[in-house]
Each structure stands twice: as C-alpha cells, then as structure tokens.
Amino acid sequence: MKKILAIILFSSIIIVGCNGTTGEEEVSTQPFKQTEFLLGTVVTVKIYDEDKEAVLQEAFTLMEELEAKISTSIEDSEINKINQQAGKEAVKVSEEVFNLIESGKAYSEKANGSFDITIGPLTSLWHIGYEDAKKPDQSEITEILSYIDYEKIEMNEDNQTIYLEQENMQLDLGAIAKGFIADRINELFEEKEVSTGIIDLGGNIYVRGEHPRQDNWTIGIQNPFEGRGELVGKVTGENISVVTSGIYERYLEVDGKQYHHLLNPIDGYPFDNEIAGVTIISEKSIDGDALSTLVFSKGLEGGLQAIEEMDDIDVIIVTKDKEVYLSEGFTNFELTNEDFVLMEGVE
C-alpha cells in the first residue's frame, strides 16, 4: 500500500542530547545522511551520533537484503518463489520472511479478512498506479476472490517453510513491508547504540531520540486533497512511528469516478466510506501499515473504536468532508489548516 508522505518539519536540526543516555554519548549538530531509491520509493536515513557513521551503510545494506527477499518486483525473491509454488509445494524461507508472513497472517486474522496478505491476485487485476490499470469486470473479480484466503497459508515453524494451499494464490506484502523494514532498521540502531536518528521509508516515519531545541519532534500530516507538503496538522513525539495512508495518492479514473488503490479483499473493490486519510501513531511501524488498512475497512466509527481498544496505538482520521477525528485521549496533534475542522467525537 502506497503511503502519503508524512513530512518531517524542522527548520534546522541541531541535536545536542540524546534520549535515555548518561550524556557520555556524543551527537553531531549535523547528521550523517543517506538517500536512495529503494522499496519502490525514496528512502532517507539520518544518524546524529558522531561515531556511528558506519551504521548508516549497514542500514541500507540491510534494506537491500530484505527487499531482495520480499519484493515481488524481484524475480528470484522468496515471496515470488512462494507464489510460483502455490498449490504445488512448500518453500523454505529465511527467518526474516517467515516472521514477516507470520505477522501478516496475524494482522489478517485480527482484521477478519478485511486486511489479507493473499490479496496479490486482486492488486494485480486492478493494477492501480500502473499504465495497464483497469476496472475489472465483475466476473473477473468474482474469480479472483476465490484465490484470496489467508487461512490457506500453511506455515511450518520447524522446517521454516511456507505453503499456499491453492493454485493461483499470491502473497502481496506491500501493505506491511516498509513498516517491517523500518522496525528492523530501528532494531539495528538499538543494537549499535544509535541514540538519535530519523528513518523515512517513503512515508513510514520513525523518529528516534530527543529533539534538541524543543520537547519533541514535529511530524507533519499530509493533506490528502493536495500535493505533497500541504498539511492538515502536526504530531509531536519521540521514539514513535507515524504512518499515513490516503485514497488520493494513487487512483484509477473511469467514467468520471475515481477508484483508489486501497482494495477490499472481501468484495474486490476499493474501500468506499467517509474516510480520506488515516494516520497511525505507534511504537512499531508495521502496526501503522496494517492498522491503517484496518481502519479504512471499518469506516470512521468502527475504525476509531478498533484503535481505542488497542494499547499504545493512536489514530487520526481525516474524512472526505474535511473533518478530523482523533482516538480518545490522544493530545499530541495540532490542527494547522483552517480548511479542516477538529471534531470532538463521532455522533
């Protein structure tokens, strides 16, 4: 699932301290920074610790290794090998891929199938965002839906194998891949004792450590109706993931009607409700990926209720009527765009 970019807002960044340290760690006033095109998007990582420049390259090496294993755009990836053997035989995979699929299956169960990592045949059918995108016939959708069922993913932990029980099934981990990788980079930072840094994987934003000049980092929330950089408001925090998804980032227009890229694996069509954009604030980036789709699937009231039942997860929902709703008790958001209205609750 493609993310609307959340823009990190700082006029200048000068890190003079770090979170959870004794003051013996040294952090630079200017970060070590690297930007590359990976995972189908522009990826930027910044590290402020003076003696941790080498970790930056380790982070990008790790991303390249993980992309090679999970991308369906790479012919010999482990995910493609699983898909090619659907209905035929189990495929042995790496620990990272096994864990990612295990997480994806768990999120699919939590969403009762409205999020489903076997949605690959449906995303391929619509192919929204590509030149050959089309609105399929109902007969095509009906056939494709028979191939979508996360319960038909057979996982053998002892052998570390994955088997798709039905021919023509396809895994598509695009909805959670960037979140999974962002979390792995953050784990690498923890292992290497990086105290202060920013991980931006095309909209999956993670801020690590304390901001030097104010209490928290400030992260802008993209306006889903305007171009990149136009904001609804801003979130403050530290050591948090912020992931924003929206319906206007990628869509297909047919006979004057827009069909966005967030597809419902139950009926085969894009989710159709009052929601225009969803932002998930969490400790883990993979939660933001999966739960943003869950909120879209449940609509405004159901989405708010679902998030409020979870610990350490918050949500910002922007509706097509330009109303903004927050999960109960979330106070780290400031509305900055006068075209939008911050609502007290769902009536």
CATH of the domain at 106: 1.10.3980.10
| Residue 237 covered by a domain | yes
Asked whether the beta carbons of 301 and 315 are under 8 A apart, the reply is no
With beta carbons less than 8 A apart as the criterion, state whether 308 and 328 touch.
yes
Residues 128 and 148: their CA atoms lie apart, in Å, by 18
Q: Do 225 and 307 fall into the same domain?
A: yes
Provide the pLDDT for residue 9.
Answer: 45
Q: In the chain, what are the helix, strand and coil shares in percent, each to the nearest 5?
A: 30, 30, 45
**Closest-CA residue to 146 (of 176, 116, 174):** 116
Q: Residue 188: is its pLDDT beyond 80? A: yes
128: pLDDT strictly greater than 90: no
Instruction: Assess whether pLDDT exceeds 60 at residue 225.
Output: yes
Count structural domains, the chain.
2
Report whether pLDDT(3) > 50: no
> What is the per-residue pLDDT for 335?
98
**Average pLDDT estimate for 255-282:** 91
Same domain, 158 and 234: no
Lowest mean pLDDT among 45-54, 62-71, 179-188, 249-258: 249-258
| CATH number, position 257 | 3.10.520.10
Same domain, 228 and 321: yes
220 and 145, same structural domain? no
> Which position has the higher pLDDT, 24 or 213?
213
Q: Give the pLDDT of residue 187.
A: 98
The last residue of one of the domains, among 102, 136, 164, is 164
In this prediction, residues 131-151 reach a mean pLDDT of 95
The string of pLDDT tens digits covering residues 274-289 is 999 999 999 999 999 9
Higher pLDDT: 30 or 110? It is 110
Annotated binding-site residues for Mg(2+) read: 175, 289, 293
Residue 325's pLDDT is: 98
Q: Which domain holds residue 139?
A: 73-164
User: Which of the four pLDDT bands, split at 50, 70 and 90, describes residue 347?
Assistant: low
- Identify the domain boundary among 131, 164, 197: 164
pLDDT over 80 at 236, yes or no? yes
**pLDDT above 70 for 47:** yes
- Looking at residue 8, its pLDDT comes to 43
Residue 257, beta-bridge partner list: 254
Is 21's pLDDT higher than 90?
A: no
N- to C-terminal Cα distance for the chain? 30
Kindly state the average pLDDT of the residues 254-278.
89
Binding region? 175, 289, 293
Would you say residue 173 lies in a domain?
A: no
Tell whether 186 is covered by a domain: no
- State pLDDT tens for residues 310-323: 999 999 999 999 99
Q: Is a pLDDT exceeding 60 seen at residue 22?
A: no
Show which of 164, 179, 200 is a domain's final residue: 164
DSSP for 265-324, please give it.
TTTSSB--SSEEEEEEEESSHHHHHHHHHHHHHHHHHHHHHHHHTSTT-EEEEEETTSEE
Q: At residue 26, does pLDDT exceed 80?
A: no
Given a cut of 50, whether residue 194 has pLDDT beyond it is yes
Q: Name 322's Cβ contacts closer than 8 Å, sequence gap at least 6.
A: 225, 339, 340, 341
Residue type, 275: I
* 15 vs 24 pLDDT, higher one: 24
| Confidence grade of residue 2 (pLDDT, cut at 50, 70, 90) | very low
| Count of C-beta atoms within a 10 Å radius of residue 319 | 19
Lowest mean pLDDT, pick from 153-167, 175-189, 204-218: 204-218
In the chain, pLDDT over 90 holds for what percent of residues?
Answer: 73
| pLDDT of 7 higher than 50 | no
Q: Answer yes or no: is 47 within a domain.
A: no
Residue 207 located in a structural domain: no
Residue 340 has pLDDT above 50, yes or no: yes
Question: Residue 277's closest CA among 204, 219, 206, 221?
Answer: 221
Query: Do 242 and 304 have their domain in common?
Result: yes
Q: Is residue 12 part of a domain?
A: no
pLDDT value of position 248: 67
Query: Comparing 71 with 131, which gets the higher pLDDT?
Result: 71
In this predicted structure, the answer to whether residue 63 has a pLDDT above a threshold of 90 is yes
16: pLDDT strictly greater than 70: no
Residue 257 confidence (pLDDT): 82
